Amino acid sequence: MSTAAIGFLYAGATLGAMLSGIPIAFALGFVALAFMYAFMPAASLDTVAQNVYEEMASITLLSIPLFILKGAAIGRSRAGQDLYSAMHAWMHRIPGGLGIANVFACALFAAMAGSSPATCSAIGSAGIPEMRKRGYSPGFAAGIIAAGGTLGILLPPSITMILYAVAAEQSLGRLFLAGIGPGFLLVALFAGWSVFRFRSEFAAAKLAYERTGTEHPILREDSYSMRERFSTLPRVLPFVVLLTGVMVALYGGYATPSETAGLGGLLALALIAVIYGVWRFRDLDPILTATLRESTMLMLIIGMSLLYAYVMSYLHISQAAAQAIVAMQLSPWVLLATILALVIALGFFLPPVSIILMTAPIILPPLKAAGFDLVWFGVVMTITMEMGLIHPPVGLNIFVIKNIAPDIPLKDIIWGTLPFVILMGVAIVLLCLVPGIALWLPDLLLPTTR
């Protein structure tokens, strides 16, 4: 059987396994084992455990469960609500300040926790009820939190970035730094849309008030004294210091990514013990259980994805696919657009982890041959996968929002997120036009590693 026929059979079997409802890790593992049995030497089945271990024996991957521990510790405390309250107190005078406060709170919490669903849950559980109480439409409130939560896979420490660094064999430090500029760009775009949408809803409510005399909650103005504003800071600043300290330790060369992750996890546990009194076993048990469950699930997906990629490489499927893409002689930008369209399509039913590990052997060689910087592409690909977290039919953040605000119709949540999907597309175009948005910081701080 030709390599092309095996490749199409491999893709068909994968699609069938995915659509069958089998968990992703088992679907990928089943397909990989089936093709090893059918097309590879019988002895290869005896080396499955060894192959998976060798593929996962990366010191960089060790940082994943440690960053998950840090995120679980922060996410299961009141840090998210306190962060949101502080942001609201300082930004309430800005038109649409409550929406902007939620965007900034999502960005900071995402940087501390490194998880999109955790950010949605922690900030949304406080932010969505407050926005709705102040007159924000349900879809608008849901869209802000869903989009803000996606920053968890772009801003460091990002687990998605860690996996891309392993798959693309790129510097993790450069990838982390490259995500900061685009992260600020997305925060600015989201905040700008929040102001625009708020002004629109405010104007409609004001017009209705002038016609009917019925006052809409969005017309009400909050007031905070300077004393009340400063009173919100003591619980927030330690976590900001934690974030700053972790970044300084990593980029200052004082610790490796894995050591930094361990330091962050221990400091996060210490902070929630001191600030929130979370130190007893019954308090720590949910945090450790969640860390163990999420780490096990994620590492299983990673292991099976790496085995899947190994089989694809052994059967020359990835090499043949990469050669076929190169042979099409597409212009660099058409090639990039085609690959990003593929990533968007995969985002309909696959999480970012699987997309990276499954597609990296196929798409990275042609992109490198076309002259694209793989660190820059890692950022662009991450933003593209962020779109997958909030676009239907299987946007993960959409269902997280539905879980914390079950009374908001799913249709309203989807319509509320669509403007943010468009804004992410705008950010990708800007990154293509001005690559320095992503590369200036790593080129400035880590110029010798490029």
The answer to whether residue 219 sits within a structural domain is yes
- Encoding tokens for residue 90? 């300082």
The answer to whether residue 405 sits within a structural domain is yes
CA gap 164, 156 in Å, rounded: 13
pLDDT of residue 393: 66
The answer to whether residue 404 sits within a structural domain is yes
Give the sign of the dihedral formed by CA 437, CA 440, CA 445, CA 450: positive
- Average pLDDT for runs of 10 along the chain of length 450: 85 84 84 89 80 75 82 78 79 80 85 76 81 86 90 83 88 90 94 90 83 74 80 83 80 79 86 87 87 84 83 84 80 91 79 82 88 94 88 76 86 91 94 93 73
The answer to whether residue 22 sits within a structural domain is no
Range of 315's domain? 58-445
What is the reported pTM? Answer: 0.82
The answer to whether residue 222 sits within a structural domain is yes
Q: Enumerate residues 6+ apart whose C-beta is below 8 A from 388.
A: 343, 344, 346, 347, 348, 350, 352, 355, 395
pLDDT of residue 64: 81
In the chain, how many domains are there?
1
pLDDT of residue 448: 55
Q: Classify each residue of 61-80 as buried b or exposed e, where b means 16 or more C-beta atoms within 10 Å of its C-beta.
A: bbbbbbbbbbbbbbbbbbbb
The answer to whether residue 51 sits within a structural domain is no
The answer to whether residue 3 sits within a structural domain is no
Residue by residue, DSSP assigns 212-228 as H-PPPGGG------HHH
pLDDT of residue 349: 67
Give the sign of the dihedral formed by CA 224, CA 227, CA 228, CA 233: positive
The answer to whether residue 181 sits within a structural domain is yes
